[in-house]
């Protein structure tokens, strides 16, 4: 089929742009579509960003005293979390985590024990962090993350443990 200006009409976007003004508008519209597509892809990539917040707490000897008057457990108090560690490496963590925003984030809560100076200065962390929970949170929600486990490599260093680090890892829309 032949168009108005003598060119063959193939039904494409360029063929519908039969004047310079229409061609300019079509190019702008096409560039806008490409820009919005790349912006959407960038937003999707940004939503999958991982944020890790770290909070430290000094070890406090527990009031649970047994066997010769020595503490068998260390307590750790964070802003919105508590943890304890026993001499045999058994530990427990309970944390209240708030998600800010309406879109969702995947949260993991972990704990790391270490030996360092007063106020958790210059800490040497023992092993890798232990993650105890994984939950999806949305809509400005508070959720309790809790869990426990055993850190076998702690047994030999229990008497020197002076610090714990709470790790809150969020992947997705984290604010």
Extended strands (E) in the chain: 50-58, 60-61, 65-66, 70-71, 73-77, 81-86, 90-98, 105-115, 124-125, 130-137, 142-150, 163-172
pTM of the shown model:
0.69
Q: What is the pLDDT of residues 37-89, one digit of tens each?
A: 333 333 444 446 888 999 999 999 887 656 666 668 999 999 999 999 998 99
Q: What is the pLDDT of residues 142-158, one digit of tens each?
A: 999 999 999 988 888 99
Which residues have a Cβ under 8 Å from the Cβ of 29 and sit 6 or more positions away? none
- pLDDT at position 33: 44
Name which of 9-18, 114-123, 157-166 the model is least confident about.
9-18
- pLDDT at position 160: 94
Task: Reduce the secondary structure of 115-161 to three states and give it as a string.
Answer: ECCHHHCCCEECCCCEEEEEEEECCCCEEEEEEEEECHHHHHHHHHC
How far CA 43 is from CA of 37, 57, 140, in Å, comes to 10, 35, 20
What mean pLDDT do residues 118-129 have? 93
């Amino acid at each position: 089929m032949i168009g108005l200006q003598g060119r063959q009409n193939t039904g494409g976007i360029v063929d519908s742009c039969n004047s310079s003004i229409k061609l300019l508008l079509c190019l702008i519209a096409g560039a806008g579509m490409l820009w919005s597509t790349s912006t959407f892809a960038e937003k999707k990539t940004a939503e999958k960003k991982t944020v890790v917040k770290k909070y430290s707490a000094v070890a406090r000897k527990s009031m649970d005293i047994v066997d010769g008057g020595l503490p068998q457990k260390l307590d750790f108090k964070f802003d919105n979390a508590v943890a304890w560690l026993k001499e045999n490496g058994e530990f427990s963590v309970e944390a209240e985590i708030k998600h800010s925003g309406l879109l969702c984030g995947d949260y993991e809560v972990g704990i790391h024990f270490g030996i360092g100076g007063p106020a958790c200065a210059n800490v040497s962390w023992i092993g890798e962090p232990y993650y105890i929970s994984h939950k999806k949170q949305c809509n400005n929600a508070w959720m309790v993350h809790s869990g426990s486990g055993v850190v076998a490599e702690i047994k030999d260093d229990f008497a020197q443990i002076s610090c714990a680090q709470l790790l809150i890892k969020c992947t997705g829309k984290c604010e």
